[in-house]
Amino acid sequence: MSNFPRSILLVCLGNICRSPTAHAVLQQMAQTKGIPLEIDSAGTGDWHIGHPPDERATQTASTRGYDLSPLRARQVIIEDFYKYDLILAMDHSNLRNLKKLAPADATAQVELFLPYGDSNTQEVPDPYFGGTDGFTHVLDLIETASENILARYKG
């Protein structure tokens, strides 16, 4: 990311756990820092379209002051590949699916989210079938990567 993006779409599988968490965290941090950035999130799957985020994600994020309650799940659409400068996938499987979907003349750059983090981990693990600890771990990874993304902003 040599030029700072004007818009970022965050993508996971269901758009009810990881990507809405990243959506709220990145949006709120950008607002606090006065960085102009359009953020949205979406899922590669269609099971949860129209649903609010998972309660465990909402609850975990709220303990650190992030509000997921206005968000509703949607699926990635072809227009996203032209509308957003950057599309960041939470794991390799979603990255592969995004690359399959991407039109040949897509203008968005499609990459993994977590290389912006501090650890060597490449994927934000899917917390859906696990316990609440998983949601805290997801939030830790997302906060660090979001700080690092915004630190690249040069004004």
The strands making up 109-112's β-sheet, listed across from edge to edge, are 38-43, 7-12, 86-89, 109-112
If one asks whether residue 15 binds ligand 4NP (CB under 6 A), the answer comes out as: yes
What is the widest separation between alpha-carbon atoms in the chain? 42
Q: Give catalytic status of residue 12 as yes or no.
A: yes
Sole binder of ligand 4NP in the list 47, 64, 69, 96 (CB under 6 A): 47
Q: How many positions of this chain bind ligand 4NP (CB under 6 A)? A: 10
Q: Give catalytic status of residue 133 as yes or no.
A: no
Q: What is d(CA 121, CA 141) in angstroms, rounded to the nearest whole number? A: 9
If one asks whether residue 128 binds ligand 4NP (CB under 6 A), the answer comes out as: yes
Cβ distance to ligand 4NP smaller for residue 128 or 153: 128
Q: Which residue has the tokens 């649903």?
A: 51
Q: Binding residues for ligand 4NP, per CB under 6 A?
A: 12-18, 47, 126, 128
